[in-house]
Amino acid sequence: MSEVPTAAISRLVTYLRILEELETREIVRTSSTDLAERAGVSAFQVRKDLAYFGRFGTRGLGYSVAILKRELMRVLGLNQTWNVVIVGVGRLGQAIANYPGASDYQFQYVGLFDVSPELVGRRVRDLTVRHIAELKDFVRENKVDMGFLAVPPERAQDAAQAMVTAGVRGILNFAPVVIGPRPLEGRSESRSADGNVLQDSGDDWRGVIVENVDFLAGMKRLAFYTLNPHLKDSPVPEDPA
């Protein structure tokens, strides 16, 4: 598979949503032109995005809605169960935990974590909120694929580091800050009691995928483009061929 642009993945998610809507309306076939009109892109862009992953249509007949939906679910990894922990169970974390659509796409919440004495021990969506100090043991004893981070910005880096150290390899970050590896400062080398060199936090982060969901940044972009609608990206033009 050639390198796939991040924007193409985002568009696949949009195509999948459109296919689900078509399926609920009992529409069995669609086309690149129809998908393009509904997604706000060009038909050429639809065909190009899908071509990264194979050939799904039939010339002159378009796409089977059911088959294309199934294939996009496979490509996006939504045909398997993903076990998720939520770190930060304040109002935002609880809203995420109670969102009804996650289970439709095989996202299963298996653990909730916080540091607040007022929240630890409470029941949210049939799960007991645990202290984040228990996260490492929990991940070791349970299959955890990803974590959602919903803590205040000043706590985000420490919470993210706790997730990565525990073995969580994918983080959906709702905090409006950049998270990532932080080198140990003030010392060039640290050793354990048995003399082994300790890894810094950067080693823990190798292979960790972070996706950021920044509502405030989105609001700022919306304000700018509302004032300057002519600067908003226009659809990709049709391929002259």
Look at residue 7 and tell me whether its pLDDT is greater than 80: yes
CA atoms of 94 and 90, how far apart (whole Å): 6
| Residue 107 counted as domain residue | yes
The pLDDT tens digits for 189-224 are 433 333 333 344 567 899 999 999 988 888 998 999
Query: Do 200 and 106 share a structural domain?
Result: yes
* Domain extent for 54: 6-76
Query: Do 121 and 38 share a structural domain?
Result: no
Look at residue 240 and tell me whether its pLDDT is greater than 90: no
Query: Do 140 and 67 share a structural domain?
Result: no
Please indicate if the annotation marks 92 as binding a ligand. yes
CB 164 within 8 A of CB 205: yes
Query: Do 192 and 105 share a structural domain?
Result: yes
Please indicate if the annotation marks 91 as binding a ligand. yes
User: What is the mean pLDDT of the segment spanning 132-157?
Assistant: 96
Tell me how crowded residue 100 is: count the other CB atoms within 10 A of its CB. Answer: 6
Look at residue 132 and tell me whether its pLDDT is greater than 70: yes
| Residue 41 counted as domain residue | yes
pLDDT at residue 170 in the model: 96
Please indicate if the annotation marks 57 as binding a ligand. no
Q: Give the residue from 76, 107, 136 where a domain finishes.
A: 76
Read off the pLDDT band of 233 (50, 70, 90).
Answer: low
pLDDT at residue 152 in the model: 95
Query: Do 109 and 207 share a structural domain?
Result: yes
Look at residue 163 and tell me whether its pLDDT is greater than 60: yes
Residue 145: give its domain's CATH number. Answer: 3.40.50.720
The amino acid occupying position 10 is S
Query: Do 65 and 99 share a structural domain?
Result: no
Please indicate if the annotation marks 62 as binding a ligand. no
Q: What burial class does residue 190 get, using C-beta atoms within 10 Å of its C-beta: 0-12 exposed, 13-18 middle, 19+ buried?
A: exposed
The pLDDT tens digits for 174-192 are 999 999 987 555 444 433 3
User: What is the mean pLDDT of the segment spanning 225-238?
Assistant: 72
The pLDDT tens digits for 33-86 are 999 999 999 999 999 999 999 888 788 889 999 999 999 999 999 999 999 999
CB 87 within 8 A of CB 135: yes
Query: Do 88 and 56 share a structural domain?
Result: no
| Residue 87 counted as domain residue | yes
CA atoms of 163 and 84, how far apart (whole Å): 12
- How high is the mean pLDDT of the chain? 87
Q: Give the residue from 29, 51, 76 where a domain finishes.
A: 76
| Residue 226 counted as domain residue | no
Query: Do 207 and 160 share a structural domain?
Result: yes
CA atoms of 105 and 74, how far apart (whole Å): 11
CA atoms of 33 and 221, how far apart (whole Å): 29
| Residue 55 counted as domain residue | yes
Query: Do 90 and 173 share a structural domain?
Result: yes
pLDDT at residue 58 in the model: 80
Read off the pLDDT band of 234 (50, 70, 90).
Answer: low
Query: Do 188 and 118 share a structural domain?
Result: yes
Please indicate if the annotation marks 180 as binding a ligand. no
Look at residue 139 and tell me whether its pLDDT is greater than 70: yes
The pLDDT tens digits for 118-130 are 999 999 989 999 9
Number of domains present in the structure of the chain: 2
Residue 25: give its domain's CATH number. Answer: 1.10.10.10
CA atoms of 177 and 215, how far apart (whole Å): 11
| Residue 179 counted as domain residue | yes
Query: Do 87 and 69 share a structural domain?
Result: no
Query: Do 181 and 101 share a structural domain?
Result: yes
User: What is the mean pLDDT of the segment spanning 87-103?
Assistant: 91
β-pairing, 29-30 vs 107-114, is unpaired
